[in-house]
Amino acid sequence: MAALPVRDTGSALRDLQRITGVQPPGPELPVAVEPQEVAHGYVEIRPGVRFHFAELGRGPALVLCHGFPESWLAWRFQLPALAGAGFRAMALDMKGFGESSAPPDVSEYSQERICQDFITFLDKLGLAQVVLIGHDWGGAVAWNVALFYPERLRAVASLNTPFRPAQPGSDPLEQLRRIPNFDYQLYFQQPGVAEAELEKDIERTLKILIRSHEPEDRLPVNLDLRRVQERGGLLVGLPEDPPGSRLLPPPALDYYVRQFRASGFRGPLNWYRNVRENWSWALRARHRTIRLPALLVTAGKDPVLQPRLSHGMEAWVPQLQRRHLENCGHWTQLERPAELNRILLEWLRELPPEPLPPNSPNSKL
């Protein structure tokens, strides 16, 4: 039992959320789906590799790709909005996460291999083209599919993650070392080290990593992405029993915890261990541009994928449209779901009509 002094409704709701871990409904909170409210599909990519996805709605196909350390459930606010607008919305568990396969080899998580597997995923579902929307690592996948397989996309969108072509003549790991906020990625390079830390207490890991930038959701000690190697761990110095995050109310947190207990962190961390391989592959396309309809949504409070990193993108993505959410941190789908849904739906409505299938009678008119 706890007594709450009620100064005003907003403060009371925030206090209630802090104590219970339950995110209260509000006028700006759109409908979210639960895992049992969507259809679940599985696609065998090749022996030992299977993709899981959650699906809602009918119509032109959209594929949603999450980042680290997340799940298809990161799109729980977007799936109903996109399905309600007449789309077939499919949220992937990316390779290494959730119910998708988590092969142990680092090479399985190179961008080249992941994009190849994504094309196989489309082929096996009979999807000639889709709109691809990604966040964080999912945004990198979206840009790379657009760069190497543009014929398979109607349009591409990325949340937070900018596109920049690979530059020859500079070692990509050395580039990371020059950016203090990317030190955590260098800490992730040695297999087994970060896994041991993040898997020790998965609930604590997720409650620390997936938090909003709002003052009432902050921890007493901020997560510092700098000097991680020097400190000896990403979570060193953070609370052992952190309060719940408003972005992961108990049902969502429980789902995430179960998923990561089953799959572990090796696959998700392997995404970071192909730095030079990804750079070499991207160099093959450094003179190409992405000429698809494209959208980038930047977030003003993202500590890593800062909006300034996207300066000049129009040179490589000529049809780029930009939207910006100033009061938003890294977890865009969860922090500002209503605003993001409006942005996505407005952009999608402006896209050219979906092409008719080649054998459709109307395609010959």
The string of pLDDT tens digits covering residues 116-154 is 999 999 999 999 999 999 999 999 999 999 999 999 999
Span 191-203, pLDDT tens digits: 999 999 999 999 9
In which band, very low, low, confident or very high, does the pLDDT at 28 lie, cut at 50, 70 and 90?
low
- Most distant CA pair in the chain: distance in Å? 70
Q: Write down the catalytic residue from 109, 255, 256, 272.
A: 272
Contact predicate 51/42, CB 8 Å: yes
Burial of 69 (0-12, 13-18, 19+ CB in 10 A): buried
Pick the catalytic residue from 52, 66, 135, 330: 330
Distance from C-alpha of 247 to C-alpha of 333, rounded to nearest angstrom: 10
On whether the CB atoms of residues 159 and 332 are closer than 8 A, the answer is yes
Q: Is it the case that residue 344 has pLDDT exceeding 70? A: yes
Reported as a pLDDT band with limits 50, 70 and 90, residue 238 is very high
The DSSP output letter for 356 is: P
Q: Which of 52, 93, 109, 136 is catalytic?
A: 136
Q: pLDDT (tens digit, 9 = 90+) per residue, 74-111?
A: 999 999 999 999 999 999 999 999 999 999 999 999 99
Query: With contact defined as beta carbons under 8 Å apart, do 250 and 212 qualify?
Result: no
Per-residue pLDDT band at 170 (split at 50, 70, 90): confident
Q: What is the DSSP letter of 361?
A: G
pTM over 0.85: yes
Given this model, what pLDDT does residue 356 score?
Answer: 60
pLDDT in tens, 173-217: 998 999 999 999 999 999 999 999 999 999 999 999 999 999 999
Q: Which residues pair with 61 in a beta bridge?
A: 88
The tally of CA atoms less than 13 A away on the side-chain side of residue 164 is 15
3-state secondary structure of 131: strand
Q: Which domains does the chain have, with CATH numbers?
A: 30-350 (3.40.50.1820)
Task: Give the list of residues 6+ apart from residue 347 with CB closer than 8 angstroms, or none.
Answer: 157, 295, 321, 323
Separation CA 222–CA 64 (nearest Å):
30
In three-state secondary structure terms, 243 is: coil
Cα gap 93→258, rounded to integer Å: 14
Give the pair of three-digit tokens for residue 223.
């997560």
Whether 330 is catalytic is yes
- Token pair for residue 208? 């620390």
Q: Beta strand 49-56 with 294-299: parallel, antiparallel or unpaired?
A: unpaired
Average pLDDT over residues 32-54: 97
343 residue type, one letter:
I
Q: What pLDDT does 7 receive? A: 38
Residues 197-206 as b/e (b if ≥16 CB within 10 A, e otherwise) read bbeeebbbbb
**Distance separating alpha carbons of residues 280 and 112, to the nearest angstrom:** 10
Q: Which two tokens stand for residue 130?
A: 């889709």
Which pLDDT score, from 0 to 100, does residue 31 have? 95
Q: Alpha carbon of 109 to those of 66, 90, 98, 179, 335: distances in Å?
A: 14, 21, 15, 23, 28
> What is the spatial distance between Cα 160 and Cα 304, in angstroms, rounded to a whole number?
9
The yes-or-no answer on residue 136 being catalytic is yes
Segment 17-31 mean pLDDT? 56
Instruction: Report residue 136 as tokens.
Output: 């964080």
Question: Which segments of 191-269 are extended strands (E)?
Answer: none
Tokens of 131: 């709109």
Tell me what the pLDDT averaged over the chain comes to: 91
Distances (CA, A) of 305 to 119, 135, 158, 222, 250: 26, 11, 11, 17, 27
- Residue 300 carries which side chain, given as an amino acid letter? G
pLDDT at 55: 98
**DSSP-derived secondary structure letter, 238:** S
Beta-carbon count within 10 A of 287 CB? 8
In the residue annotation, 15 being an active-site residue is answered as no
What is d(CA 216, CA 334) in angstroms, rounded to the nearest whole number?
A: 16
pLDDT (tens digit, 9 = 90+) per residue, 243-299?
Answer: 999 999 999 999 999 999 999 999 999 999 999 999 999 999 999 999 999 999 999
Mean pLDDT of the region 328-336: 97
Please answer whether residues 340 and 159 qualify as being in contact, where contact means their C-beta atoms are separated by less than 8 angstroms: yes
336 touches 362 (CB < 8 A):
no
